[in-house]
Chains A and B, each alone.
Chain A
Amino acid sequence: MAIVETRDLTKVFKQGQLGAVNDVNLLTREGEFMVFLGPSGSGKTTLLRMIAGLEEPTRGDVLIGGRVVTRLPPRERRIAMVFQSYALYPHLSVYKNIVFPLRAQKVPKEERRPKVEWAAGLLGIGDLLDRKPRELSGGERQRVALARAIVREPSVFLLDEPLSNLDAKLRASARDELTQFHKRIGTTTIYVTHDQVEAMAMGDRIVVLDKGLVRQVGSPREVYDDPADTFVATFLGSPPMNLVDHGEVLAGFRPEHLLPAALATGPSVAITARVTNVEYLGNERVLYAQIQGGRFDGQRLIGRLPSVYHVEIADGEVVPLAIPERHLRFFGKDDGRRVEPRSLAWQ
């Protein structure tokens, strides 16, 4: 178990252009489950690969367990990696797949089988050892990949979007299994994903990346409730945060904080809006509305109302809405960064 650190880590593929990864400084905690979250092209995979040693940084350093590993090949870093496609060796049995790292690192022969059986047992695949990868389901393949990774007892786990190849239905249970697995093993883990639900559900801390830059690092609550800029604010949460252009600043509030006026508690901003669409999703209703009158006439908003609130809202109705002031977030218009809260006129 080790701490992973990056210092000014940069990767530029084409001279003169913005790098895939730019000056990233990170420090994990021991045993942490850290998630790299971002859209495609955000550099999250490149960052992971540099930590693994599969890409050479243009600038900067990678440290694992306090040791500078920047120039070391992957096999000298005591890491294990699970690839998006699992990268199981198709011509080898499950047993041979799992024992491969032990053979490669010349672990004494007597120790090999017990370790493989321990790893297989940990992941519940003990009875699959003689099968070939093509005979396994997606979930089973993922477990084999994990077993192969854990069998070396690495100090760091790297996972590159391991759930994206699974059926949607399988993903939730696989997510839970991964979390349980991490709790049991406790190895420092870095997990790359573009799925913000996965990130929020699994991460101890989330690193939000965009265009190779770190936008924010924080716990799920921090990145959700206290986003550092508009990118983080709109990337996390679905439907995304509403942003209203308020002159010098952007005012933001999440759809679940846009409530019928009667339900808002505490000091609130009042808004009159006409409902253009209501989607009934079973557990909640999604409201699409347009502000009526005042400075922001015509601005479109999205709201989320749990179905437990039996408030009548009909299509086309003009309703009074409110946003509790404590849920407002303000962002600078030029760079999107979070700024001090302020009182603004809304009408």
Chain B
Amino acid sequence: MSGGLGGPRPAGQGAVGPRATGPAAPVGPADPAGPARPARGWRVPVPPAVLRGVIVLGFAAALAFPFLWMGITSFKQTTDLYNTKNNPFLFNLPPTLEHLKLLFNETLFLRWLLNTAFAGTVVVTITLLLGLPAAYALARLTGRWGERLGIGIFLTYLIPPTLLFIPMSRVVALLGLQDSLWSIILVYPTFTLPFSIWLLMAFFKSVPRELEDAAMVDGLTRFQAFLQLVIPISLSGILTVVIFSFTLVTQEFVYALTFISSAAHQTVSVGVPIYLVRGDVYYWGSLMAACLIASLPVAVLYNLFLDRFIAGFTVGAVK
């Protein structure tokens, strides 16, 4: 094989000759950011791990601090809580369960939790009943107008409750649903549906068409293939949609505030900040406990399903 412009080739084959090739090689210039860098990822331009650690801890602290504070507040005795001379981070008096007891025994908190759970369950059910077929239709059965409808559905998600809540309150009143959980049960699917259909479309599209084709060759109708094949396969995606829809329900504030006027019928999202007060004075201890109790379980579930959610919507984006 003819060589390039290289120098004369030493005779003989094989890998290394004696190690003494050339003078004792000087070590290259020291790495500018200092020698003590962990191996992972420093070859490609990446900020040093220390900087990353600082950033990450800083953000995590700033973002999660309010919840830590909720936790501390929930267990501090009232006299400790309202003593401005004390270090608020320390339990200067022993921690107490009095706020929790008050919350569960003397407020409507439990009722609100139940209301929210009930509303959430019914709303998610409606969403699945209407959304699963719709998403499948958009993913499989429609041509160009299906694409357009899909985009249209997505755009309705962008229509905010704060635009619709005023006329909606009239509609609710006309239907006689004011001050009832059923008002929000009726209205919430207006945002859980677009969101869920969009996400379910992505999940359904990732199911290979051949599976349904094979089932139909074997004698199933398309609808049966949908029920017996596509839905079971997409179960984890459907579960993700359930979790996220439920999250949307628990977070909603405007409609619940507008349609429901009595405390007993409220959801957690409105009840806690509005009704845990006597006159002008908030029950901060119980309030913070309520916030934490209402937020954490949802957060855990959300976190568990987030990766699946991302996988779902990035799949949808790669058409």
Direct contact of A and B (CB under 8 A): yes
Point out residues on A near B: beta carbons under 8 Å.
1, 3, 5, 7, 25-27, 29-33, 53-56, 63, 66-69, 71-74, 76, 182-183, 185-188, 202-205, 207, 214, 217-220, 222
A95 vs B81: C-alpha distance in the bound complex, in angstroms?
66
B79 within 8 A of A: no
User: Could you write out 28 A-B pairs with CB less than 8 Å apart?
Assistant: A25-B15, A27-B15, A29-B6, A30-B6, A31-B4, A31-B5, A32-B3, A54-B43, A56-B42, A63-B25, A66-B23, A67-B25, A67-B28, A68-B25, A68-B28, A69-B28, A71-B28, A72-B31, A73-B31, A73-B43, A76-B29, A186-B5, A203-B1, A207-B15, A217-B13, A218-B13, A218-B14, A219-B13
Within the complex, the shortest CB–CB distance from A200 to chain B, in Å, comes to 9
**Count of CB-CB pairs between chains A and B under 8 Å:** 92
B2 within 8 A of A: yes
User: Judging by beta carbons under 8 Å apart, are A74 and B10 in contact?
Assistant: no
A219 vs B9: C-alpha distance in the bound complex, in angstroms?
12
User: Judging by beta carbons under 8 Å apart, are B26 and A1 in contact?
Assistant: no
B318 within 8 A of A: no
User: Which one of B6, B29, B31, B43 lies within 8 Å of A32 (CB-CB)?
Assistant: B6
Mark out the residues of chain B between 1 and 56 whose CB falls within 8 Å of any chain A CB in the assembled complex.
1-7, 9-10, 13-17, 19, 21-23, 25-29, 31, 35, 39, 42-44
Q: Which of B13, B23, B29 has the most CB of A within 10 A?
A: B13
B residues in contact with A31, CB < 8 Å: 3-7
A residues in contact with B10, CB < 8 Å: 29
A residues in contact with B42, CB < 8 Å: 56, 73
User: Judging by beta carbons under 8 Å apart, are A74 and B43 in contact?
Assistant: yes
User: Which one of A7, A187, A214 lies within 8 Å of B19 (CB-CB)?
Assistant: A7
Name which residue of chain A comes closest to B22, CB basis. Answer: A66
User: Judging by beta carbons under 8 Å apart, are A56 and B25 in contact?
Assistant: no
A63 vs B4: C-alpha distance in the bound complex, in angstroms?
21
User: Judging by beta carbons under 8 Å apart, are B6 and A186 in contact?
Assistant: yes
User: Judging by beta carbons under 8 Å apart, are B4 and A185 in contact?
Assistant: yes
User: Judging by beta carbons under 8 Å apart, are A1 and B1 in contact?
Assistant: no
Within the complex, the shortest CB–CB distance from B196 to chain A, in Å, comes to 33
Within the complex, the shortest CB–CB distance from A114 to chain B, in Å, comes to 22
User: Judging by beta carbons under 8 Å apart, are A26 and B5 in contact?
Assistant: no
User: Judging by beta carbons under 8 Å apart, are B25 and A66 in contact?
Assistant: yes
Within the complex, the shortest CB–CB distance from A190 to chain B, in Å, comes to 13
User: Judging by beta carbons under 8 Å apart, are A27 and B16 in contact?
Assistant: yes
A residues in contact with B1, CB < 8 Å: 33, 202-204, 219-220
Within the complex, the shortest CB–CB distance from A278 to chain B, in Å, comes to 34
A29 vs B29: C-alpha distance in the bound complex, in angstroms?
25
User: Judging by beta carbons under 8 Å apart, are A182 and B4 in contact?
Assistant: yes
A73 vs B37: C-alpha distance in the bound complex, in angstroms?
12
B residues in contact with A69, CB < 8 Å: 28
Name which residue of chain B comes closest to A25, CB basis. Answer: B16
B residues in contact with A68, CB < 8 Å: 25-28
Given contacts A73-B31, A74-B43, contact A222 B4 (CB under 8 A): no
Within the complex, the shortest CB–CB distance from A337 to chain B, in Å, comes to 15
A204 vs B1: C-alpha distance in the bound complex, in angstroms?
6
Within the complex, the shortest CB–CB distance from A66 to chain B, in Å, comes to 4
B residues in contact with A205, CB < 8 Å: 13
Name which residue of chain A comes closest to B2, CB basis. Answer: A183
B residues in contact with A76, CB < 8 Å: 28-29
Would you list the 10 A-B pairs with minimal beta carbon distance, nearest first? A31-B6, A186-B5, A186-B4, A31-B4, A30-B6, A66-B22, A25-B16, A68-B25, A72-B28, A217-B15
A218 vs B10: C-alpha distance in the bound complex, in angstroms?
13
Name which residue of chain B comes closest to A185, CB basis. Answer: B4
B residues in contact with A63, CB < 8 Å: 25
Within the complex, the shortest CB–CB distance from A253 to chain B, in Å, comes to 22
A69 vs B25: C-alpha distance in the bound complex, in angstroms?
10
